[in-house]
Amino acid sequence: MIKRPKSIAPGSVIGITAPSFGAATEPYSYLIDVAIENITRRGYKILEGKTARLGDGIGISTDPKVAACELTEFYKRGDIDAIISAGGGELMNETITYVDFEELKSAEPKWFVGYSDNTNFIFPLVTITGVQGIYGPCISGYGKVWEQTEEDAFALLEGTKDCFSGYDMFVKEPEKADECEEGNSQDSSDEEPEEDLFSKPREEIFKVLREYRYELNEKKVLTSFSCESGKAVKLSDTDKVNVSGILLGGCLEVLENLVGTRFDRVKEFKKDNKDIIWVLEKCEMNPMSYRRSLWNLREAGWFDGAAGFIIGRPGNFFDGDMMGVDRFNAVTDILAPIGAPIIMDADIGHVNPMLPIIMGADADVTAIGNDLNIRYL
């Protein structure tokens, strides 16, 4: 029922457009150039949209009508084989006001890659248009030495792998209870290099970026729960979670705002697509807002009959609590009554490295201890 776009290969054309945040400021203005270098070196052609480096909009790359027009044009164009978003951001909801997802049904399906604010496009692309999308790095994420995240994203684009595993280590930043990185709060994982770097000569900046790797400093720890009884029971390192279904979700900051709008077709989608595995992550919510957001989606009926939940590492990774509410019970107390298993702190979302996910794809998901495996069917 949900169409998978054709795989791309060297020689294919990748379009870059900015439906949310444009690469108008540093470090993005440098990262986009290094990313284009890396992708063209792999054998691809790049078609950079007019919006890709714009920053003349209010809280967004440019006028949302202009951004929507280019996004729609790129998706429909036959000479563009895949699209990678220029960045995350905050106000892509205003862009999709002018995107006709019904119209896109007649277009040849193509891969769209992005995460965070790009949930605004990927989620209705799946639930309305019926086309899969990749929740993965925006263009600046490829402006570094390619590690497993970048290779996995292109493995999905190229169709060379169908089984993916989570990563052993991640980058843990100092705790930020209230917000993510300033200036692009829903795309912080792409701005790793030190700020003072950008006061140096241009060629020195590029040299550092071309050699940059993630500074992994924390071991990944998954926490899984069985909820068969309607209560969350923490599983041991030897207990196995195995669930099959359609992967669907994205950034909670975006999803909670789609509820009840004309872009909310979840109930209609679920009539033809059963056994949904909800893949959810958040960037800047504190434990209270995190809990409220999940409650909102649950009470809207989105989670009714869910097969399971994969919860990404929180973007601000706040380990404290607010009046007894922490990042664990914010999830388990709200989702346990659904009765489906919950896998928490998966390698998905705003904390590097992120595991790219095909939203709308049928998959078998397995978790044992700290090992997460996703096999696409």
HEC string of 290-325 equals HHHHHHHHHHCCCCCCCCEEEEECCCCCCCCEECCE
Task: Tell which residue, 81, 90, 80, 78, has the closest CA to residue 19.
Answer: 90
Q: Residue 207: which H helix or E strand, with range?
A: helix 202-210
Q: Do 109 and 256 sit in the same domain of this protein?
A: no
In a domain, 235, yes or no: yes
- The amino acid present at 141, given as its one-letter code, is G
Domain count, the chain: 2
CB-hemisphere CA count at 13 Å for 113?
Answer: 29
- The amino acid present at 33, given as its one-letter code, is D
Q: Do 229 and 367 sit in the same domain of this protein?
A: yes
Task: Tell which residue, 21, 125, 88, has the closest CA to residue 354.
Answer: 88
Q: Do 156 and 260 sit in the same domain of this protein?
A: no
Q: pLDDT tens track of the chain, all 377 residues? A: 899 999 999 999 999 999 999 999 988 999 999 999 999 999 999 999 999 999 999 999 999 999 999 999 999 999 999 999 999 999 999 999 999 999 999 999 999 999 999 999 999 999 999 999 999 999 999 999 999 999 999 999 999 999 999 999 999 886 544 443 333 444 544 445 666 788 788 888 889 999 999 999 999 999 999 999 999 999 999 999 999 999 999 999 999 999 999 999 999 999 999 999 999 999 989 999 999 999 999 999 999 999 999 999 988 766 778 898 898 999 999 999 999 999 999 999 999 999 999 999 999 999 999 999 999 99
CATH code where residue 258 lies? 3.50.30.60
In a domain, 103, yes or no: yes
- Backbone φ, ψ for residue 72 (5° rounding): -65, -45
CATH code where residue 58 lies? 3.40.50.10740
Q: Do 273 and 345 sit in the same domain of this protein?
A: yes
- CB 115 within 8 Å of CB 88: yes
> 202-210 and 28-41 helices cross at what angle (nearest 10)?
50
Q: Which domain holds residue 94?
A: 13-161
Rounded to whole angstroms, the Cα distance separating 279 from 281 reads 7
Q: Do 154 and 252 sit in the same domain of this protein?
A: no
Rounded to whole angstroms, the Cα distance separating 228 from 35 reads 45
Rounded to whole angstroms, the Cα distance separating 270 from 274 reads 6
Do strands 223-226 and 218-219 pair parallel, antiparallel, or not at all (unpaired)?
Answer: unpaired
- Backbone φ, ψ for residue 373 (5° rounding): -135, 135
pTM equals 0.94
Q: Residue 80: which H helix or E strand, with range?
A: none
Q: Residue 375: which H helix or E strand, with range?
A: strand 371-376
Instruction: Determine the straight-line distance between the first and last CA of the chain, rounded to whole angstroms.
Output: 13
Can you say how many angstroms the Cα of residue 340 is from the centroid of all Cα atoms in its chain?
22
In a domain, 208, yes or no: no
Cα separations (Å) of 5 from 17, 45, 46, 121, 131?
Answer: 18, 18, 18, 15, 7
In a domain, 318, yes or no: yes
Q: Do 248 and 362 sit in the same domain of this protein?
A: yes
In a domain, 153, yes or no: yes
Q: Residue 287: which H helix or E strand, with range?
A: helix 287-299
Q: Do 20 and 147 sit in the same domain of this protein?
A: yes
Q: Do 226 and 130 sit in the same domain of this protein?
A: no
Q: Do 361 and 295 sit in the same domain of this protein?
A: yes
Give the domain-ending residue among 146, 161, 176: 161
